[in-house]
Structure 1
Amino acid sequence: MPTSEDQHGFNGARLAATVLLIRDGAQGLEVWVQERVSTMRNYAGMTVFPGGGVDPRDFPPKVWNSGDLWAGPSVISTARRMGTTKYKAHALVFAAVRELFEEAGTLLAIHSDGTPVADATPYHGERLALESHRLSLTDVLRENDLKVRSDLLTPFARWVGSSASGNMFDTFSFLAVAPEGQETDGDTSEASDAGWLSPRLLLEGWRVGLVRLVIPTYAQLLELARWNTVSEVLAATELADVSPVIGDPVEDPRYRDFFHIKRLDRIGEP
């Protein structure tokens, strides 16, 4: 059974998960991003990856078979890779799968016969119920005889920091490749716009004031921009460092531009 410590991140921060969904586009590597609506409590107006806080229901039940609703590398091996307990690993993977489905319509799951979900649109009703918290991901999986695919999520980074509203988050980031056959969409109340874009183009948009980024998103886009294809990303990040980055890394030379360039915010200009 998870302890109270399992349910919180570094120094009591709220656990969160985000997913960098990537694909090979016509002009090279692309990542799915969304611009959060201005009414959001955290990161309003920012361009972010799909993600959000861990729901208590993302943790395993009291009576828990580690293979229940889970396919791929075991919870224990995933926990070792992430540097967490098995309870946190379960919750974070479930949160990542849930948030990606809620915000991008992409479901990283398989049917009971082992075939991957090739079309997530039949589960649109459940998607809306997840977003409104009427159902948990566990409910959706059980009702549709599905399991999450942990092999489709590669731990990528971990950032600990606060939003502009002062809420502390311990956020684990995962890489995922867009599943073949599934159509990604931005049909979520949390985003005013969404789509596939080049990491390099997003960084250029930030430099000229047309994209708003927080440091974890900026840093991870900077990392993605090093590669041209999905296969290059996966090969290079198979053993990515997921030790936590705590606070703003102002002195890190990799992020000098983020903290020292003076930019004009041109969003909304005619």
Structure 2
Amino acid sequence: MIDPGFDPLDAVDPQDTSGFNGGRLAVTVLLLRDSAEGLEVWVQERVSTMKTYPGHAVFPGGGVDPRDFPPRMWDSGEQWAGRSVVSMARRMGVTKYKAHALVFAAARELFEESGTLLAIRDDGIISDASRYHRERELLEAHVISFTEFLANNGMRVDADMLLPWARWAGEDRGQWFDTFFFLGVLPEGQEPDGNTMEADDAGWFRPGLIMDGWRAGLVRLALPTWAQIRRLASYSTVGEALQDASYSDLRLIIGDPVDDPQYREFFTANPIDRI
């Protein structure tokens, strides 16, 4: 649970890059848009060769890269815009160094996996991210860091475009992961794509439709993803989801909460896998 008296400016080792139980920090972005049918979220289907959750429907995301962390002495305003890094750190219950890394990782992973860029220049938001897709390939190949990409193009990550939404920790194959979920809204003029080696398919879907697919055994969902889809299904518009994000409970959820009534359907439905 987040300590209400927590201060990210307290003396904490900035070189501590781990999450809960020494786990690897990770991020996931729920990219949203409004459509004629209502709120939609961008979802990818992982390739069958992935070690974790093959064939599952997921949101863009991944592990925090060591280069997502700032240097020990840094000017947080240089490549950061919007809500302050200290404010974001207090909201998430982490140090300012980890807040910086998590927000940068979220923006980077979203760009790498969907081509959507939640960043700004002095002349405003990025309305066409396709011009940067050569550098997107270099990011995916770890040839350049996200910090280098931003500096080369005069960009800053806008923290107001990534709203903390949830936090889950779990163990997979002997390794712990501490994952922060963010809400993001598709910037006007941009359109995501499925050009990532990690996904067989990708597209916009209404959360209720995804839940129906899961119940019919046509969609595979891990519990944390299922929980976010179920929550999104209660909103009709992006505005409703964003408003609720301000009140999101960011207390850490650990493992499989089998005794929590809000997740009972996941553990008791047991849909037949028809994929």
After TM superposition, the score normalised by the length of structure 2 is 0.93
Match of 1:67 in 2: 77
Amino acid at match of 1:67: G
Amino acid at match of 1:101: F
8 Å CA contact retained: 1:15, 1:171: yes
Cα distance between partner residues in 1 of 2:248 and 2:66: 27
Match of 1:41 in 2: 51
Cα distance between partner residues in 2 of 1:227 and 1:11: 33
Cα distance between partner residues in 1 of 2:49 and 2:145: 24
Match of 1:145 in 2: 154
Cα distance between partner residues in 1 of 2:197 and 2:51: 13
8 Å CA contact retained: 1:6, 1:85: no
8 Å CA contact retained: 1:100, 1:107: yes
* Offset of residue 193 of structure 1: 0.5
Aligned match for 1:89, one of 75, 90, 99 = 99
Match of 2:216 in 1: 208
Cα distance between partner residues in 1 of 2:14 and 2:21: 12
1:198 maps to 2:198? no
Secondary structure of 1:124's aligned partner: helix
Match of 2:3 in 1: none
Amino acid at match of 1:151: D
8 Å CA contact retained: 2:14, 2:72: no
Aligned match for 2:196, one of 181, 185, 188 = 188
1:117 maps to 2:129? no
Structure 2's unaligned 5+ residue stretches are 1-10
**Within-5 A mapping of 1:48-63:** 48-63=58-73
Secondary structure of 2:78's aligned partner: coil
1:21 maps to 2:31? yes
Across the aligned residues of Structure 1 and Structure 2, the Cα RMSD in angstroms comes to 1.4
Aligned match for 1:105, one of 115, 121, 127 = 115
Kindly provide the CA deviation profile for residues 172-207 of structure 1, in whole angstroms up to 9, marking residues without a partner as x. Answer: 000011110001111101100000001110011011
- Superposed structure 1 runs of 4+ greater than 4 Å apart: none
Kindly provide the CA deviation profile for residues 17-62 of structure 1, in whole angstroms up to 9, marking residues without a partner as x. Answer: 1000001112111000101111112222111000000000000023
User: Aligned in 2, Cα 1:92/1:2: closer, same or farther, shift over 3 Å?
Assistant: farther
* Offset of residue 239 of structure 1: 2.1
Cα distance between partner residues in 2 of 1:114 and 1:12: 41
User: Aligned in 2, Cα 1:5/1:261: closer, same or farther, shift over 3 Å?
Assistant: farther
* Offset of residue 2 of structure 1: 7.5
* Offset of residue 5 of structure 1: 6.5
Match of 2:8 in 1: none
Amino acid at match of 1:168: W
Cα distance between partner residues in 2 of 1:87 and 1:107: 22
Amino acid at match of 2:204: W
Kindly provide the CA deviation profile for residues 109-166 of structure 1, in whole angstroms up to 9, marking residues without a partner as x. Answer: 111x241111000100111111111111001001111100100010000000123x34
User: Aligned in 2, Cα 1:114/1:3: closer, same or farther, shift over 3 Å?
Assistant: farther
Secondary structure of 1:19's aligned partner: strand
Cα distance between partner residues in 1 of 2:138 and 2:87: 31
Cα distance between partner residues in 1 of 2:14 and 2:72: 14
